[in-house]
């Protein structure tokens, strides 16, 4: 268990700056995901924490102690690599025993031939075997101990890699995209196992992934990285519901948020012809200028069956005309692509229950116009530069029923 803090970490390879002044604090026992597109520096940041890369400047502290100059083995960390990096010539037991052999045996007792003369070798071996067997039992891979990595399936290799990391009893657990080599079904299962491992071990986890779903489901906090900086760090729901920038809003949430151009004039937000029922919060700064309006696909609600879809009644919220173009059938849900009136050049996505889509009448493949409703509380407003503008619903009467908000919230939870 350990607290990890980074302060002003910079790292460049040649002239390319990979990490730009990264500072973050990770509390004892937290599960923090570093998420971002490839090349955003998340893996490099993890490698800096591990000690595989030396930062050009900045400080790494584990439990308050500066570890910049400490070798990886002295940082009391464990790391699971993307392709597991198991030693192919060693059995599972030998792979998992490696950190213990290194920690418990002196150099001469580790060398080939010579080690048979070393008393430490004979003395420590049973203890190492016992500890390996115990971790193997915990991970349910005891029956694999004599196999080579090549004889294992992807999921089993993943467990062995976890075992090799666990056996050394680390303070901090680092994982570099550990699920990316697994098939979709196994990914969901291992995702849960890692969450359980985190819960039962109480260790500090730092988890790198490009998959926002992984980050959202497993983490206590998510740090979204882009271009070597952390855009926003916070609880998954904060990043989803309250993004600081349009980039965060675009990255978090699947399918991607709909962004439409708009204008702000004297506190009145227009999107195309429509005046949006929101206004920048008092003291928000910007009163006029171009803005970006964001609505998540799951927050655009098909109008025809209001009692099923949305508690708000006609005349409340924002009603839009949507021209359906294509439909992706996701099983229980559908993802509908189309255009909004007044925005012929922007693809707009709506995510809805299949029953709702059928409830709109006609066959799904038929092109026709739908009425779509948006709760103003779900509209995210950004300035032209992509920074979030705090906005509040402006309504003549009281529309922000608690039920409506909760309905929206439940949908969020369904998603994450």
Partner 1 sequence: MATATTASPLQRAQARLAYWLVAPATLLILLIYIVPIAMVIAASLTDYTLVSDYFEFVGLDNYRRMATDDQFGNALHNTFVFAVMFLPAAFVVSLVLAIAIQERKQFRSILEVLYFLPVTSTLAAMALVWAALLDSRQGVINGVIAALGLPPLNFLGSQDLVLFSLALISLWSTIGFNMVLFLAGLTAIPKNLYEAAAIDGADHPLDRFFKVTWPMLGPTAMFVAITTSITAFKLFDVVAIVTRGGPDKASEVYLYLAFLEGFEYFNMGYSAALSLVFLLLILVFAIIQAVVVDRRVHY
Tell me which residues touch partner 1 (CB under 8 A): 47, 50-52, 71-73, 77-79, 81, 83, 85-90, 98-99, 102-103, 107, 110-112, 148-150, 164, 168
Q: How far is the CB of 175 from partner 1 (least distance, A)?
A: 12
Task: Specify the residue, 174 or 279, whose C-beta has the smaller distance to partner 1.
Answer: 174
Q: What is the dihedral of CA 33, 38, 40, 42, to 10 degrees?
A: 30
CB of 54: closest distance to partner 1 in angstroms? Answer: 13
Using CA atoms, how far apart are residues 102 and 99, in angstroms rounded to an integer?
Answer: 5
Q: Minimum Å distance from CB 154 to partner 1?
A: 16
Q: CB under 8 Å to 206, separation ≥6 — which residues? A: 4, 26, 32, 34, 46, 49, 172, 173, 174, 175
Using the Cα atoms of residue 309, residue 315, residue 318 and residue 324 in order, give the sign of their dihedral. positive
Smallest gap from residue 151 Cβ to partner 1 (A)? 10
Q: How far is the CB of 367 from partner 1 (least distance, A)?
A: 50
Tokens of 284: 């928000």
CB of 357 to partner 1, least distance (A): 46
d(CA 328, CA 336): 6
Given the complex with partner 1, which of 56 and 341 has the nearer CB atom?
A: 56
For residues 53 and 303, which CB has a smaller minimum distance to partner 1 in the complex?
53
Closest CB to partner 1 among residues 86, 93: 86
Whole-number Å distance between alpha carbons of 165 and 401 = 49
* CA-closest candidate to residue 72, choices 160, 174, 159, 207: 174
Name the residue nearer to partner 1 (CB basis): 79 or 259. 79
- Between 163 and 408, name the residue whose CB sits nearer to partner 1: 163
**Angle made by CA atoms 33, 36, 39, in degrees to the nearest 5:** 125
Of 355, 382, 369, nearest to 320 by C-alpha is 369
- Closer by beta carbon to partner 1, 56 or else 392: 56
Q: Please, are residues 369 and 321 in contact by the beta-carbon 8 Å criterion?
A: yes
- Where do we find the tokens 């260790």? 203
Minimum separation from the CB atom of position 210 to partner 1 (A): 18
Question: How far is 61 from 172, CA to CA, in rounded Å?
Answer: 12
Closer residue to partner 1 in complex, CB, 84/251: 84
C-alpha to C-alpha distances, 103 to 29, 63, 73, 80, 170, nearest whole angstrom: 24, 21, 9, 18, 12
Output the CA torsion sign for 320, 324, 327, 331: positive
For the chain, how many residues are written? 416
CB of 167 to partner 1, least distance (A): 10
Distance of closest approach, residue 329 Cβ to partner 1, in angstroms = 40
Nearer to partner 1, 102 or 367 (CB): 102
């Amino acid at each position: 268990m350990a607290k990890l803090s980074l302060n002003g970490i910079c790292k460049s390879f040649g002239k390319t700056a990979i990490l730009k002044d990264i500072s973050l604090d990770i509390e004892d026992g937290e599960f923090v995901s570093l998420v971002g597109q490839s090349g955003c520096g998340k893996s490099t940041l993890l490698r800096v924490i591990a000690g595989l890369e030396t930062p050009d400047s900045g400080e790494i502290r584990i439990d308050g102690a500066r570890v910049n100059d400490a070798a990886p083995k002295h940082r009391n960390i464990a790391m699971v690599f993307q392709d597991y990096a198991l030693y192919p010539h060693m059995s599972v037991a030998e792979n998992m025993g490696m950190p213990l052999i290194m920690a418990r045996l002196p150099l001469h007792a580790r060398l080939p031939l010579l080690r048979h003369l070393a008393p430490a070798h004979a003395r420590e071996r049973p203890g190492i075997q016992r500890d390996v067997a115990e971790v193997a039992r915990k991970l349910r891979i005891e029956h694999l101990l004599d196999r080579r990595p090549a004889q294992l399936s992807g999921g089993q290799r993943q467990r062995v890699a976890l075992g090799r990391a666990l056996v050394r009893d680390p303070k901090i657990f680092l994982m570099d995209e550990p699920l990316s080599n697994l098939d979709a079904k196994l990914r969901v299962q291992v995702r849960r196992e890692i969450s359980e491992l985190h819960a039962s071990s109480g260790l500090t986890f730092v988890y790198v992934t490009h998959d926002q779903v992984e980050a959202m489901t497993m983490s206590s906090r998510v740090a979204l990285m882009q271009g070597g900086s952390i855009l926003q760090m916070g609880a998954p729901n904060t990043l989803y519901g309250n993004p600081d920038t349009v980039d965060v809003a675009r990255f978090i949430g699947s399918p991607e948020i709909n962004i439409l151009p708009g204008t702000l004039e004297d506190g009145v937000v227009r999107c195309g012809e429509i005046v949006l029922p929101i206004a920048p919060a008092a003291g928000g700064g910007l009163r006029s200028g171009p803005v970006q309006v964001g609505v998540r696909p799951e927050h655009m609600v098909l109008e025809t069956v209001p009692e099923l879809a949305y508690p708000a009644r006609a005349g409340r919220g924002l009603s839009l005309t949507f021209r359906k173009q294509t439909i992706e059938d996701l099983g229980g849900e559908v993802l509908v692509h189309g255009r909004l009136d007044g925005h012929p050049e922007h693809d707009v996505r709506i995510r809805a229950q299949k029953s709702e889509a059928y409830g709109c009448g006609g066959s799904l493949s038929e092109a026709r116009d739908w009425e779509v409703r948006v709760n103003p509380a779900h509209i995210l407003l950004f300035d032209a530069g992509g920074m979030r503008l705090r906005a509040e619903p402006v309504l003549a009467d009281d529309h922000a029923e608690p039920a409506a908000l909760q309905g929206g919230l439940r949908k969020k939870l369904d998603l994450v």
